[in-house]
């Protein structure tokens, strides 16, 4: 199985949900000190407390960028409690490539960041008139 599968390379070269949300309900930035990766995840919760928008930004290798991009798609519609429950296996399954021990942190950096952003998120209050 190829590490740099077409899907991974496609998400890396044309990332989905890449960008910044100016007024997020929750945001978090995490570093991977080993390789210098830095990922920020911004979430918007709707009135019911479900994620209505998720974006990521920062720098990283193809694996961490693609994994985070794919993950942001999965976050839509989930509650923070559901996001907290996403386990590592789910990420490996989503990526569908062989993750060696050295690349575990790359694969999971987005998930760690998204979970922290979810914990910090509070439902968006209706805009004041």
Partner 1 sequence: MFDPKKLKKDFPIFSRKINDKSLVYLDNASTSQKPKSVINALTNYYETFNSNTHRGIHTMSEEATAAYEDTREHVMKFINANLPKEIIFTRNTTEAINLVAYSWGEENIKSGDEIIVSAIEHHSNLVPWQELCRRKNATLKIIPIKTDLTLDLAAYEKLLSKKTKLVSITAMSNVLGYMPDLNKIIKSAHKVGSLVLVDGAQSVAHMKADVKKLDCDFLAFSSHKMLGPTGVGVLYGKFEILSNMNPFMFGGDMVKSVEQHKAYWNDLPWKFEAGTPNIADVIAFDAALTYLDKIGLENIHKYDQQLLKYAVGKFSKYEKDGVSLILPKSDTSSILSFSIKGIHPHDIAQIFNDEGVAIRSGYHCSQPLIEHLNLSSTARMSFYFYNTEADIDRAEIALKRTLKIFKS
Segment near partner 1 (CB under 8 A), from 16-24, 43-51, 53-61, 75-83?
A: 53-61
Is 33 near partner 1 (CB under 8 A)? Answer: yes
Three-state DSSP class for 77? coil
Choose, by CB under 8 A, the member of 46, 59, 73, 90 that binds partner 1: 59
Residue 106 CA to chain centroid, in angstroms?
12
Nearer to partner 1, 4 or 19 (CB): 4
Q: Does 10 bind partner 1 (CB under 8 A)?
A: no
**CA distances from residue 92 to 73, 86, 112, 118 in whole angstroms, order as listed:** 15, 11, 14, 20
Binding flag, residue 96, partner 1 (CB under 8 A)? no
Question: Which residue reads 């004041």 in tokens?
Answer: 128
The strand pairing partners of 45, in sequence order, are: 51
Pick between residue 9 and residue 20 the one whose CB is nearest to partner 1. Answer: 9
Whole-number CA gyration radius for the chain? 14
Helix (H, G, I), strand (E, B) or coil at 53: strand
Of the candidate spans 33-41, 44-52, 84-92, 119-127, the one that interacts with partner 1 by CB under 8 A turns out to be 33-41
The answer to whether the CB of 80 falls within 8 A of the CB of 118 is yes
Chosen residue from 17, 37, 45, 95 binding partner 1 by CB under 8 A: 37
Interface positions with partner 1 (CB under 8 A): 3-4, 9, 13, 33-38, 59-63, 103, 106
């Amino acid at each position: 199985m190829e590490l740099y599968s077409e899907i991974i390379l496609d998400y890396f070269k044309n990332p989905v949900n890449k960008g910044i949300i100016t007024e997020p309900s929750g945001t978090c930035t995490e570093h991977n000190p080993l390789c210098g990766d830095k990922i920020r995840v911004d979430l918007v919760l709707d009135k019911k407390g479900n994620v209505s928008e998720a974006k990521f930004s920062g720098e990283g290798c193809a694996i961490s960028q693609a994994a985070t991009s794919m993950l942001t798609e999965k976050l839509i519609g989930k509650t923070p409690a559901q996001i907290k429950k996403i386990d590592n296996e789910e990420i490996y399954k989503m990526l569908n490539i062989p993750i060696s021990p050295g690349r575990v942190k790359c694969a999971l950096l987005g998930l760690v960041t998204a979970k922290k952003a979810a914990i910090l998120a509070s439902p968006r209050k209706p805009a004041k008139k």
